[in-house]
Chains A and B, each alone.
Chain A
Amino acid sequence: HVVDESNIPVSGVTVMIKDTRIGVQTDFDGNYSIKANPGQVLLFSYLGMRTEEVTVGASKTIHVILYEDAEALNEVVVTAMGIERADRTLGYGVSTVKSADFDVARETDVLQALQGKVSGVQITGQGGGIGASTKITVRGMTRISGSNNPLWVIDGVPISDANDFTSSRTTGSIDYGNRAQDINPDDIESLTVLKGASAAALYGSRASNGVIVVTTKKGKGKATVSYSSTIRFDNPLRLPDFQNTFGPGDYGVYNEAEGDNLQEVGAGWGARISEGGTYTDYAGNVQTFQSYPDLQKDFYELGSTNIHSFAISGVSDKGQNDYRFSTSYTSKEGIIPGSSLEKLNLGLKSGAQLYDNLKSSFSINYVNSSIEGAVAQGGNDPNILMSVINTLPRTTDINVFTPWISEDGEEQLAPVDADGTNNPYWIVHENQRTSDTERFFGNVNLDYQPVKHLSVLGRVGYDTYNTTHFSNKHKGTIGLLEGNYTENHISRNELTLDFLTTYNNVFGDFDFKIMGGAQWNQREWSTIGNQGISLTIPELFDPGNVETNVPWKNYAKTRIFGVFSDLTLTYKTWLTLNASARNDWSSTLPEGGNSYFYPSVALSFVFTDAFKIDSNILNYGKLRGNWANVGSDTGAYQLDFLYSPQSTWYGQFSTSGTFPFDGQLAFSGPNTLPNVNLKPENQANYELGIELGLLKNRVTIDATYYKNVTTDQIISLLVPASTGYSSAMTNIGEISNTGFELEIGAKIIRYKGFVWNLNYNFSTNETIIDDLGEGIDKYTMASAFNGLVVGAEEGQSIGIYGNRFARAVDENGNTIEDQILVNSNGLRYEGDNERLGDITPDFTMGLTSVFRYKGWSLSTTFDWKEGGVLYSQTVSSLRTSGLAKETAVDRETLFVDPNTYMVNEDGTYSENTIAIPSVQQYWSNYSASRIHESNTFDATYIKWRELGLAYTFNKEQLNNSPFKSLRIGVQGRNLGIFNTSIPHIDPETNLFGSGSNGGAIEYNGVPSTSSVGFNVQVKF
C-alpha cells in the first residue's frame, strides 16, 4: 500500500524490482502486488515524488510513504527529437498537460481540451460548425505571411495539422477541421508545448512557430483492459437576443394590398405583431401575424457526443516487451439538422528488448473520420445557413419550411427569398457538404547501444492521409438552379528519417552528453478534383451525369535535409549548459542560398542547490535563460516564372465559366511575381525565466519573459495591380514579439484526505510590426468583405482595418476622433478605412481548481481573454434587419444621435441637432455591413470552460465486481460566457479557420455549443 505524506493513497506509482524490468503500478487505492524474493530491492517511483527504495523482507505487505520531492520537481520532460530531460536542467520554459487533464471533460478535439490550461498559447475555436478547426498560436504571430501554426510531433515524428477548407476563406467557406483533431486524446500520456526557438531549435526551421510534442501511452504493468464511455448533450451556448414585438415590413407598415411581400420588406421593421395583421407566408398561405420567439431554438436540434474508448495494455516476458492496443469511436450529432461527425481511431504501440543492447519499438495509428453537414460561413452565397436563420421575421413558424422539396425531387418549396436565399432545411438536407478522411501515421525505432555510454537511434516516421471533400447544390438551389457538385481529393504524405547518436558519461562533477544526428524530411501534397455543372438526374453525382466537368490538379513536393548537434553539460546537478546547432537545406529556396544555420544556447541554474538554500519558505529556485537564432523557408515553387493552364474563367456572382472556350485552351502567366533571390527568414529569440518552489513545494511559480524578432520575412507582397501582378514574393520587414508568462500551482489544502489544488496561468504577448520595408505602410494578411481586412501596419500590432464613420478634421487635416459627423438626414455616414483594433488579446489567463475527498473529485476550469476586438456580421444583420432586441426599443422616437456633429455650410462643425428620419434608417445605417466600426466590439470574455465531478470506487466497494477500478462522473464543457461586451454572439469565433493568419472577424458563424453529460471509466 502506497500513500503520500497526507495519508492519501497514490495510484499509478511504479513499483519495480531493482536491476530487473519487472514492475507493476499501484491501483486507485494505492495498492499493488508484485512477486519478489526477500533481499530484492523494490523501487517506488512517481513523478514529483522522491523515489523510495525498500528491501524486501519477510513481511508480505510493504507499506510505503512517498514524500514530495522537496529538492526539485524531478519531472521528466520530453523535449525536441523525443529526448527526455529532467525539468530542472532545462534552460527554457515548457508547458505540459497530462493524460488525466484530458479526462475531466473529454473533448473530441485535443486543442479544445488545452483551453485555459497552458500559458503562452492562444487557442481559438470556430464556433459550433461540426468538425470545424481550432487555431493555436504559440507566443504570438511571428509572420504576416506564411504559416504561424506550430509543428505537431507525435512520439518524435512530425505529423500534419493541415486545415483543409473549400476554396475561398470568405465566400461560402466550409471548414473541414484541422488534422491534429485526428489524434485520440485517450492515447495521450503527455502533451508538451515547446514555446521558444531554443526549445525547438533541434527540429529546425519548421519549429519556428513552436512545437507541440505528444507522447502516447505505452504498456505498463500487468495486462489491463480499460474502457471509457462519455455521453454528452449539446445546446447552443448563446443565441442572439431577438425582439419579439415587431413583424416584417418597412417603417412600421406591412400591407400586401400595396405590393408588400415577405421577400422584399425588412424582416423586423413592420407593424407590431400584436396588431394582428395578415400576410402570405413563404408557402403561399395567408396567416395572421403571431410571434414565434423560439424560432431559432426550434430549428436547432439537441446535439450529442458519444465517445467509447477501449484499450488493452501491459508488459510481457518479464517486462521485456510492452504493448498497448487502443480503439476509440466518436460520434457526434451537431445542433444543425443533418450535421454529424464520426471518427474511429485504432492504435498499436509496442516495444521489445531484442538483445541487452538493442531495443525496438513501433507504433501505428489508423484514423477514419467523416463529417456530414459542415456549414458554410461568410457571405455572397445563397447557401450561408446562418444568414438565413438569423434574419427570418419573428413571425415565422419554422414549420413553414417543411417539406422543403417537391415530390419530383427537383423543386424547392418555400424558399426564404425567391431572388436570393434558399429554404434553410433545403440548405442543410439537400446541399451536402461532407468530408471523409483516412489516415495512417506511425513510426519504427531501433535503439542500439554498441558500447557503454554510447547509443545510436534510427527512426522512420510516416504520416499519410487522404481526404475527400464533397459538396453539391441540389437541382433547384437558388443561385444554381441546374445544380452542381464538387469533389476534391486531397492526399498528403510526410516521411521523416532520423538518425541520432548520443554519448553520455559522467566525469567527476560533470555530466556530459553530446548528440549528433541528421534528419531527412519530405512532404508531398496533391489534390485532384472535379466540378460537375448542370445535373441531368438530380442526385447522381457523377461526371457522366453533368453537362460539363471542370477537373483540376495540384501538386507540391518539398524536402528538408538537416544535420544537428546538441551538447548538454551539467555541473553538480545545479548548473546545466545546453548548446545546439542545426543546419538545414530546403528545396523551397534558391540553389546556392538554400542553406541556413541556427545555433542556440540555454543555461539552467538551480541556485537553491548551488547556495544550499532549503528553508521552509523557499525550497527550490532555478534561473534559466536562452538565446537562439533560427531560420525558415517558404512554400513550394515560389522561385520560377511559370505559365499554367487555366480550366476556368472568373465571373462575379457565381457565373464563372470554363475553358476550353470555343474549343480553345487558355494559359496564363503567374499573378504573383516570383523571386529567384529569396533568402531564408531569420528569427532571433531570447528568453529569461525563474522557477520557484515555496513552502515545501506547496506553491510553485514559473515565470518567463521572452522576446523574438523575425526579419527578412518571405512575403507575397500585394503590389499595385497596375504593375501587371497582384503580388510579388520578397523578403521584407521585421516583427517582434515580446511576452510574459506565469504559471502558479498551489496545493492550498491537504488535510485529512481533503485536497484542494489550484493552477493558474497568465500570458501576455505583444506583436509589433517594426518594419514593413520601404513604401509599404500596410500589408493585408487576410480579407473579408467591403474592405474589412486583417492587416499589418508599421509600428502597430496586427489588427483589423475597416470603414469607420466619417469624422471631423482639424485645420491640419487630422481626424478629430470624438467628433463623428452626420449627414443632412442626421445619420452617420461612411468615412475612411482605418484601424479598428488589435486581433489578439492583451492577455489571457486560465484557472483550474481541483477538489478531492476520498473517492470524489471536483475539477473546473475558467479562461479569460482580455482585450482585442471582433467584427461581427451577425450583429450587423440582426440590427439592420430590425430583429435585434435593441432595435425594438423606442421605435417611434426620432432622437438626435448623441455626441455627433454636423458640417455647416462654411465648413465648420457644430453639434448635431437633426433628429433621425426613422429608427429603421438609423439602425440600417448605423450597423450597415459597409461600416465596420459600429459592428466591431471589444472581444473580452470569460468562459467557464469545463466542470467535472467524478467518483472513484475503492477496492472494497469493488470487491465483488469484475472491475479493477471504476470511475463515474458528470461533466460539462463551455458552460457559460461572462464579462463580454459583444451582443448576441459567442466572441470566440473565427471566420478564417486554423490555416489562415486571419482572425477577429465573425461572418455568419454557427453558434458555439455548451454541453453536459456523463462519463464512466472502468479497468478489468
Chain B
Amino acid sequence: VPAELLFPEIIVNFSSVRSIEFAGLNMHAQQWCGSGGTWLSRSRYVLGVPSVNNGWTTWYTTCLKNLSLVEQLVEEDNPDNQYIIAQAKVLEGFIYSNITQVWGDVPYTQAGNPTEYPYPEFDSQEIVLEGVVTLMDEALAILEQDLDSQIVTDSDLIFNGDKASWIRWANSIKLKMLMFIANKKPDEVSAQLQALVNSPLIVTKDQEAQLSYSETIGNENPKWTFINNYWGGNINLWYAGRPLVNLMKELNDPRLATYYEPNSNGEYFGKWQGYTGFTTISKVNANNVLADTPDRYSTASETYFLLADAAANGFVSGGLAQANVWFLEGVTLALDYYDGTLGEIAQADKETYIASLPDLTALTTNEALDYINDQHYISLFGNGLEAWSQWKRTKSVDLDIPANAGATDVIRRYTYSSNEAGSNINTPTGLTIETKMWYEK
C-alpha cells in the first residue's frame, strides 16, 4: 500500500488513547476529579489493567509499528520521498515522548525490531528523551532541505502536508524534550535551547499541532462520545480537582467559568481526589468536551511558557526581562485560545487578569518560575498527560495524596503493561507508581 495510507490509523488511534483511555491522567494532574466508577478508581490510582495494556499496545503496535512500516515502504517503493520519512520521525518522536511521560523507562533503542530484538531492553528515560531530540534533528535535517520529494498531504490529519508546520512542530517537541532534560542537566542542553529560540516554533493558535475531531459521526472526540452515550452529553462523573480550582480562585482567573460549572450556590469548589460526596462540587464544564474538541498535541502558549521558564532559569539568555515578555505572550495565548468558542473570555476580563499578574522582573527567580509554571499548569486544562508531566517537572502547585489510594506520594508513572511484563523478560520490576521520573529534581 502507499505509505501515506498508514497515517490516519496511526494518528487517530494515538489520540484515542490520549483522549479517552488515559482520560484518568486528568485526575492524576488533579485538574479533574472522578466521582464514580472508573474515574473514581483513577482518582484512587487504580489504573485498570486493560487501560494500561491498551495504551501500551496501541502506542507500540498500532502507532510505532505502522510508522516503521511507513519508513520501510518509502525505502522500498520510493526512496526519494524523504519528507514522508521526516513526518514519520516527528510523529515517532512525539509518540515516544508520550510513552516516556507515562511510563518513564521504556524500550526505545531495541523497540520495533522483532527479528533482532524479540525481548527489547528498556532504556532509561534519559536515553529516550535524548533519542526524541535526535529524531527531531534528523527530521529537521530532511525538512530543511529543498528536495524533490512527496509529502503526505490528505492523510496528514495534523497539518495537511504543510512542511513549515512540521518544522515548527519538530522544534517545539525538541524544546519540550530539552526542558525535561534541562531539569536534570541544564549545562548539557542550554546551547541547544539557545539555538531553538531563533528557530521556527509553534507560536500562534493556527500553527498548533492537534488532531481535529468533528461532528461527523464516527469522527467525534471519544470523550464526548463517552458522555453522550451515557448521559446525552452531560458530564456526570468528571468534577473539579481541588488544586487547580484553588489556584484559579486565588488568582481570580476568568477561565474558572470556562473550565467548570459553578455549584448550586454559584461557587466553584474542587474535590480532594479519592473522596466521594460531590453534591457541592463543581463539574467540568461540558464546553470542554464537545464532539469537535481537538486533541491538542503542542500549543503556542506551551512554547512561550517553556521559553519563559528557560529564560528565568538562565538556560537561554534574556533573564527575567525576557521571561516576562514570553510569560505574558503565553498567558495571552492561553486566554485567547477560547476566542470564538463557547468558553470565550471577555476582553475586559482578560485585560484585568493580565494586569493583575506581577512583573516577573520584580520577583526572585523562584517566584517568577512559580508564576510561569502555575500559568502553564492552568493552560493545560483538559490535557492530562501534559499537565501531569508539567507538575512532575516543576511541582509549582501542591497536589494531594488521594484518599483511599493506599499511596504514600502522588503518582509519577504507570505500571508496565501486564502483557509486556508477561512476554518480555527484560521488563523492569520493583518500580512503583510513586517512583519518580528521571527528569524530576
A-to-B contact residues, CB < 8 Å: 259, 264, 418-420, 478-482, 533-534, 547-548, 550, 643, 646, 648-669, 671, 673, 718-726, 728, 775-776, 778, 780, 785-787, 823, 829, 833, 930
Contacts and interface: CB of A to CB of B under 8 A. Distances in A.
B261 to A, nearest CB: 17
27 contacts: A419-B230, A420-B37, A480-B229, A482-B229, A547-B217, A643-B6, A649-B9, A649-B13, A651-B19, A651-B20, A652-B16, A652-B51, A653-B20, A655-B226, A657-B218, A657-B219, A659-B8, A666-B5, A671-B65, A719-B423, A720-B420, A721-B57, A722-B60, A724-B60, A724-B61, A728-B114, A829-B406
A389 B236 CA distance: 24
B119 A720 contact: yes
Contacts of A655: 16, 20, 222-223, 225-226, 229
Contacts of A658: 217-219
A786 B51 CA distance: 10
B228 interface: yes
Given A646-B9, A718-B423, A833 B61 contact: no
Given A662-B157, A662-B219, A723-B117, 13 more contacts: A418-B236, A419-B231, A643-B5, A643-B69, A646-B9, A648-B218, A651-B225, A658-B219, A664-B157, A666-B8, A668-B6, A668-B62, A726-B419
B120 A723 contact: yes
B379 interface: no
A722 B120 contact: yes
Nearest to A420: B37
B424 interface: yes
A673 B114 CA distance: 9
A722 B219 CA distance: 28
A825 B320 CA distance: 50
Contacts of B6: 643, 666-669
Interface string B404-440: 0010000000000111101111010000000000000
Contact of A666 (B12, B56, B236): B12
A669 B114 contact: no
Given A534-B217, A651-B20, A724-B64, A668 B9 contact: yes
A726 B61 contact: yes
Interface string B319-362: 00000000000000000000000000000000000000000000
A671 B61 contact: yes
A781 to B, nearest CB: 12
B214 interface: yes
A725 B36 contact: no
Nearest to A641: B69
A420 B119 contact: no
B420 A669 contact: no
A652 B1 contact: no
A653 B58 contact: no
B212 interface: yes
A780 to B, nearest CB: 7
Interface stretch (B80-88, B105-113, B310-318): B105-113
Contacts of A776: 423
Pairs of residues from A and B, 9 with the lowest C-beta to C-beta distance, nearest first? A658-B218, A724-B65, A720-B424, A655-B222, A722-B107, A548-B217, A666-B8, A666-B9, A651-B222
Contacts, number: 204
Contact of A724 (B5, B54, B68): B68
A719 B114 contact: yes
B79 interface: no
Contacts of B200: none
B113 A723 contact: yes
Contact of A725 (B65, B154, B226, B424): B65
Interface string B8-41: 1100110010011100000000000000111000
Contacts of A823: 406
A667 B114 CA distance: 21
B400 interface: no
Interface in B45-59: 46, 49-51, 54, 56-58
Contacts of A721: 56-57, 60-61, 417, 419-420
A259 B277 contact: yes
Contacts of B37: 419-420
B187 to A, nearest CB: 32
A548 B230 contact: no
B126 interface: no
Contacts of A661: 8, 12, 157, 218-219
A726 B56 CA distance: 11
Contacts of B231: 418-419, 481
Nearest to A791: B422
B220 interface: yes
Contacts of B127: none
Contacts of B5: 643, 665-667
Contacts of A419: 36-37, 230-231, 236-237
Nearest to A652: B21
A829 B404 CA distance: 13
Nearest to A263: B36
A829 B54 CA distance: 25
B219 A652 contact: no
B60 A533 contact: no
A668 B69 CA distance: 9
A688 to B, nearest CB: 39
B61 A650 contact: no
B232 interface: yes
B24 to A, nearest CB: 10
A19 to B, nearest CB: 70
A481 B9 contact: no
Contact of B65 (A646, A657, A669, A785): A669
B114 A723 contact: yes
A542 to B, nearest CB: 16
Interface in B231-282: 231-232, 236-237, 276-277, 279
A478 B425 CA distance: 42
Contacts of A725: 61, 65, 114
B155 interface: yes
A671 B64 CA distance: 12
Most buried by A among B16, B106, B276: B16
A664 B7 CA distance: 9
A281 B182 CA distance: 59
A71 to B, nearest CB: 59
B66 interface: yes
Contact of A533 (B9, B218, B422, B423): B218
B232 A481 contact: yes
B8 A664 contact: yes
Contacts of B49: 785-787
Contacts of B38: 653
Contacts of A480: 229
A651 B219 CA distance: 11
Nearest to B236: A419
Nearest to A778: B422
A481 B13 contact: no
A726 B1 CA distance: 21
Given A259-B277, A671-B61, A722 B51 contact: no
A751 to B, nearest CB: 64
A494 to B, nearest CB: 33
A397 B118 CA distance: 58
A478 B217 CA distance: 18
Contacts of A728: 114
A68 B425 CA distance: 65
Given A533-B218, A666-B5, A671-B61, A657 B229 contact: no
Contact of A669 (B66, B119, B422): B66
A728 B62 CA distance: 15
Contacts of A669: 6, 65-66, 69
Given A664-B8, A667-B1, A651 B16 contact: yes
B304 to A, nearest CB: 29
Given A723-B111, A723-B114, A725-B61, A780 B229 contact: no
A722 B120 CA distance: 7
B229 A481 contact: yes
